[in-house]
Amino acid sequence: MQGPGIDAGSQPYASMAGKLDPRLLKALDVMGFTSMTPVQQRVLTELPNWRSDCLVQAKTGTGKTLAFLLPALHCLLQGQAPPRGKVAILIITPTRELAQQIAKSCDELTSQLTTPLECHIAVGGTARASAHSRFMKGAPSILVATPGRLKDYLSEDYTAQKLSNIQTLVLDEADTMLESGFIADVKRILQLIPPKSTGWQGMCFSATVPPKVKDVVSVVLKSGYSNISTIDKNEAPTHERVPQYHVLIPSVAETFTTLASLLNMEIKKCSKIIVFGVTANMVALLANVFSEGLTPLKVFEIHSRLNQSRRTKTTEMFKEASAGIMFASDVIGRGMDFPNVDLVIQVGLPSNGEQYVHRVGRTARAGNDGRAIILLTEAESFFMKVNRHLPIKPHPQTDAINAAAPLCADAVTMAMYSIDEETKQRAYSSFIGFFAGSGLLKPLRLDKTGLVQMANKMAMEGMGCPEPPPMDKKVIGKMGLKGVPGFNYASGNDLYGGNRPQSRSNGRHPGKNRDALSPGAGRDQHGGVDKGRRGRGGGGGRGARRGGRGGKPRGA
C-alpha cells in the first residue's frame, strides 16, 4: 500500500534505511506504507536536519500526520530523552476526532519498540478526571491535545510540570485551528509552556498561511525556519474539481421526503455517503428516521451531542466500512479522512461558503473521485448567488427527484411516527435557534414570525407532529423570540417526562439542552472543534433506552 496522495515518482521508504530509525521503518512496513507522499518525502529529505523548525503547507488528506510524526519520533528515539513521565512531543490539533486519528498513527509507528512510548490524548468531551489521572500517573512521551483542554492542563502548575521538557511542538491544521476561534487559547498555551529560548523545535502544518497564522508562526518558529509547500499554485483546489449540484425543493416541509428520494437515486451509483445537517439535533433526527428502513445502507450518526466514546467508535467503523451513510454535523466537517466517500450531501444552508467547501472536502480525497449535492429550499437558493465562485450546478435529475419525493411520503411518515417526541422537539428547537442566531433571516426574507411559521410547517407536515412541539418560555426568550406568535408554549412540567404521558422520552428537559438555549447553538460551531467542554449524549430517549443506539450503526 502506498498511502494517500502518492504519485508515480514517489520515493520508497526503503531509501530512508540508515537515516530513519529502523524500528520506525519496520512499523511503516507493518502498516503497509511502502512509498512516501510528496509532503512526507519533502519533509524527510529537504529539512537541514530533522530538528529544524519548519512551516509546511499541505492539504488535508496528503499524509501530513506521518510527515511530522516520523522526524519527531526519530529525534526522540535517537537523542536524549527527557526524564521519564515528561512529554517530549506536544501536538496541538483543532478537533477531538483529529486528535484520535493522530494518536492512533503514533501508536502504530511506535508498535515495534521493545519499550513502548506512551501517547496520551487531552481533549474535551471526555471525562476530564479519568483522562487527567491517566496522564498524571502515566509516563507520557507524546501528548496530542485540543487547545481548550491543553490550556486547562497547563493552568495547573502540578500538571504543567509534565510539559516542562518539550522537545518538539507541532501545530497541526494551524489555519483551521486559528480561524476556528482558538487563537487566544493558542497564544495563552505558548505563554504557559517553556519559552522558545529553551530550544524546542517548532513544526507548523497548514493548508494556508493567513495573517493570524503568521502571528503565531513568529512565536513558534525561529528566524530562518524552513518553508516547504506541496500545494501547486496552478492546481485547482479540491472543491473546484468535485462535480457539485443543487436540488431545490418547494418548501422546508419536503426536506425529508426529498432527501429520501435523492438517496434512493444516488445509492444506485454511490455506496459511501456523508449527509451533513444544520444542527446536531437535526442530525440526530435524520439518523433516527433513516434507520427505520428508509435506506438499505447501514446508518451511522456523529455529532457533538454524542459522548466521545461513541463518536470515536463511529468514526472508526465508518472509516473501515465499504458502504454506509453517515449523518453528521461539523465535528467531521474539517480535516477528517474517511476513505472512499463517493458523495457528500448537505441538507440546508451552511453558515458560509467556507464551511460548504470544507464539507465538500470529505470526498474526492487521495486522488479518488467524488461528488457533492446541496439540498435547499427555493428561499435558500440565494446561497448560490452570494457564492458565485462555487461551481454548483442544478442537479440534472432534479425534476425526477422532486417527482419521486411524494412516493416516499408514506414511508417517511411511518418512520417519523416511530421517533420519540423529545427527539423531534430537540430538532425543531435547534432549527429555530440556528436561524434566529445565524443572521440568515434577512437573505431568506423572513421575519421572526415567519421563522416560527416555517419551523411549524416543517414539524407538522414534515416530521408528523400533530401540533408544534412545545417550547419553554425561557428558552424562547434566550433565542430572542419573546412575544413572537406561533409557539406552542409549555411550562417545564408540560415538557417531556412531565404531564405528557404519550411521550416516550427519557425525561430530560429540553430547556437544559444547549442546542435549544443559545441562538445558533446545537450546530457544531467552528467545525465541531473542541474547546475543553464536557460532551453530552444525544439522539433522544429512544436511543438511550435501546442501549445507546445513538452513535451506533444499525446492524453493527
Domain contains 3: no
Same domain, 254 and 109: no
Please give the average per-residue pLDDT across 76-97, as a whole number: 90
Sequence-distant (≥ 6) Cβ neighbours of residue 494 within 8 angstroms: 470, 500
> pLDDT at position 495, please?
62
pLDDT of residue 218: 87
Any domain includes 7: no
453 and 475 within one domain: yes
Task: Let me know whether 222 and 249 are in one domain.
Answer: no
For 503, the 3-state DSSP assignment is coil
Structure confidence at residue 191 (pLDDT) = 95
Q: Which of the listed residues 208, 229, 250 is the one where a domain comes to its end?
A: 229
For the chain, give the mean pLDDT: 84
Instruction: Please report whether residue 217 resides in a domain.
Output: yes
Q: Establish if 553 belongs to a structural domain.
A: no
Domain endpoint, select from 229, 247, 272: 229
Do 199 and 317 fall into the same domain? no
Residue 523 cell numbers, joined: 450546530
* Domain region containing 343: 238-548
Express each pLDDT in 6-50 by its tens digit: 454 579 999 999 999 999 999 999 999 999 999 999 999 999 999
Query: Is 272 within 8 Å of 337 (Cβ atoms)?
Result: no
Do residue 243 and residue 223 come from a single domain? no
What is the band of 511 on the pLDDT scale with cuts at 50, 70, 90?
Answer: very low
- Same domain for 387 and 466: yes
Cα gap 362→90, rounded to integer Å: 27
Residues 221 and 293 placed together within one structural domain of the fold? no
* CATH number of the domain bearing residue 89: 3.40.50.300
Query: Is there a single domain that holds both residue 184 and residue 276?
Result: no
Judgement on whether residues 119 and 245 belong to the same structural domain of the protein: no
pLDDT number for residue 360 = 87
User: Edge to edge, what strands does the sheet with 244-249 contain?
Assistant: 299-302, 324-328, 272-276, 343-347, 371-377, 244-249, 392-394
Considering the domain architecture, whether residues 224 and 253 belong to the same structural domain is answered as no
Q: How many folded domains does the chain comprise?
A: 2
Look up the pTM and report it.
0.64
Neighbours of 196 (CB within 10 A): 16
Q: Does any domain span residue 65? A: yes
> Which of 176, 210, 229 marks a domain boundary?
229
Averaged pLDDT for residues 248-271: 94
Give a three-class secondary structure readout of 446-501: CCHHHHHHHHHHHHHHHCCCCCCCEEEHHHHHHCCCCCCCCCEEECHHHCCCCCCC
Give yes or no: residues 432 and 450 share one domain. Answer: yes
* Residue whose C-alpha is closest to residue 277's, from 327, 342, 325, 333: 327
| Residues whose CB falls within 8 Å of the CB of residue 90, separated by 6 or more in sequence, listed in order | 142, 143, 145, 150, 163, 166, 168, 169, 170, 193
DSSP string, 88-153: SEEEE-S-HHHHHHHHHHHHHHTTT-SSPPEEEEE-TTS-HHHHHHHHHHS-EEEEEE-HHHHHHH
Same domain, 222 and 270: no
Q: Which amino acid is located at 121 in the chain?
A: I
